[in-house]
Structure 1
């Protein structure tokens, strides 16, 4: 690679669909990314460990929400101040992505960025990050593209977004790269069956691009959001950033990136298929059960005080 990549880790969600399980795990209402859902590390710690295979800590930015400080602070204690993008409120994934991008652009305007949600199961971190590295190399060669990692589905999950690969983009990359032909966010069960049959992929929400390309994509889809963030840009990485951010977020509606931006299937969106790696979005209990079944792991919350497996613990969630 000719450009050092940055990692943008999204860790500001509330995890409401998984709240019943996370309450069982922790005894409180902390969001899932701060819970030990799959093993002895939290989902956020797993995401950071995975991203560190390609991106050093000093080039990693975690986007969090101020109200979650008691949960994220112990996990991110080694982060420099520049590596924490603290939102005053949760306003959905589109503002989180945009704020993180602007922070990266202020610190390293010439670097590509990899967006990592912090609520995923990945069966093989090294293989997964090899695909991310391929996508990064492709973006360096084609800086106009935003590359989304697509996942070969093993079910007709209607909670995930779906994408249809179109024409192939020629290049020396190790994996096939395609234009995105169509995008669907949370299709009906009937449509999901049809999408799987015609070779469509799950949208992993893991994206690689130069910030400028992502910013252009957001501006075309939600111009009002980019306009709302204009007052923040002059205060980024200064003592006035937090107060400027509070004023902007006080007026922001909640905006979902997958629905409002990716769902429009922008012309510069490309798909790289994630081959040979198991993946799950852990947004719902059934996805956690599927991930545990694939990994064979016994999480701490599925053991009793004597460390014996509580049979059927996952099925009771």
Structure 2
């Protein structure tokens, strides 16, 4: 299901790309972290059909001639230079990510020895950013989502950056106004508004849910809750505080890595730490606790979808009108709207 942000009353004009002048005197120069270490198992039947191999979805040309990772890099580049971007990957995917990231500087590719879930990936990426620029805000992007308008989407990201510069204690999620009672992703209930010149409104996160029951999802939509897009904006220290509060053992486990970042011993230290790490999901273990410094900014006027399953890809293609080469003729199951089968 594609999520289309509903219209909101117009207050301040939404920022346009013409106002995106980062870095500037009034806002810190941001960094970007792109999460590209997932295995994409739910979409594997479709990505195998597209690429003819076992590559994860972020390295596939799912929607057009660019891979999902390339699309995310293109979006991010509207605000953040490539040399201020860190892409978090897994060593086993090197044959897929290396050709796409060849123009990034060495500090821009954070290679995990294994996939241990989104919480270790985010923590490792944060530590890499903090080593380079401890005092810059960071935008955390998934690499498997669709947005209908890159400029409109990044205008909201810019608004969130300006908000965290004014309120450096906050971690801001981009929320999406739901158009269904989807149960596969996270939901966030906006609480009291946070005063400031930003529009659309910025709210405290009152409560968070991960994959609610269908009955609960109906209730959440009725009371104005939002989908969690998993796009986050914050200072690294604020996210680190959230992780330490929710999963202190993970932060402790990374202590040896912190001392060896950007040294010849970083990779070997990572291997030792990851060999003992369990898989930890950031959405469930960190966002799911709804930390006190969590806020939500509603994505307004931009269609969004998580491309985590074949049915969502089909729905996104139908609404966007895109017809990538792999779809084939209209008689194919995917072209007719049926999920691909292995």
SS of match in other structure, 2:88? strand
Q: Within 5 Å, which residues of 2 pair with 1:156-195?
A: 156-195=181-220
- In 2, Cα distance between equivalents of 1:59 and 1:182: 33
Asked if 1 retains the 8 angstrom alpha-carbon contact of 2:314 and 2:334, the reply is no
Q: CA deviation at 1:274?
A: 0.2
Asked if 2 retains the 8 angstrom alpha-carbon contact of 1:302 and 1:310, the reply is no
From 146, 161, 174, give the equivalent of 1:136: 161
- In 2, Cα distance between equivalents of 1:310 and 1:137: 48
| C-alpha RMSD over aligned residues | 1.0
Structure 1 segments of 4 or more deviating over 6 A? none
Q: Within 5 Å, which residues of 2 pair with 1:229-268?
A: 229-268=254-293
Asked if 2 retains the 8 angstrom alpha-carbon contact of 1:66 and 1:87, the reply is yes
Q: CA deviation at 1:198?
A: 1.0
Tell me, which stretches of 5 or more residues in structure 2 are unaligned?
Answer: 1-25
Superposed CA offset, 1:239-275 (max 9, x none):
1110111110010000000000000000000000000
Superposed CA offset, 1:131-182 (max 9, x none):
0000000000000000000001111111110000000000011320000000
1:119 matched to 2:119? The reply is no
Q: Within 5 Å, which residues of 2 pair with 1:197-216?
A: 197-216=222-241
From 309, 318, 325, give the equivalent of 1:293: 318
Aligned residues: 313
- In 1, Cα distance between equivalents of 2:319 and 2:263: 46
| Higher relative contact order, structure no. (Cα contacts within 8 Å, ≥ 6 residues apart) | 2
From 281, 293, 296, give the equivalent of 2:306: 281
Match in the other structure for 1:89: 114
Asked if 2 retains the 8 angstrom alpha-carbon contact of 1:150 and 1:202, the reply is yes
- In 1, Cα distance between equivalents of 2:64 and 2:275: 37
Match in the other structure for 1:105: 130
Tell me, which stretches of 5 or more residues in structure 1 are unaligned?
Answer: none
Asked if 2 retains the 8 angstrom alpha-carbon contact of 1:158 and 1:187, the reply is yes
- In 2, Cα distance between equivalents of 1:257 and 1:310: 40
Asked if 2 retains the 8 angstrom alpha-carbon contact of 1:150 and 1:271, the reply is yes
Match in the other structure for 1:41: 66
Q: Within 5 Å, which residues of 2 pair with 1:61-76?
A: 61-76=86-101
- Using the size of structure 1 for normalisation, the TM-score is 0.97
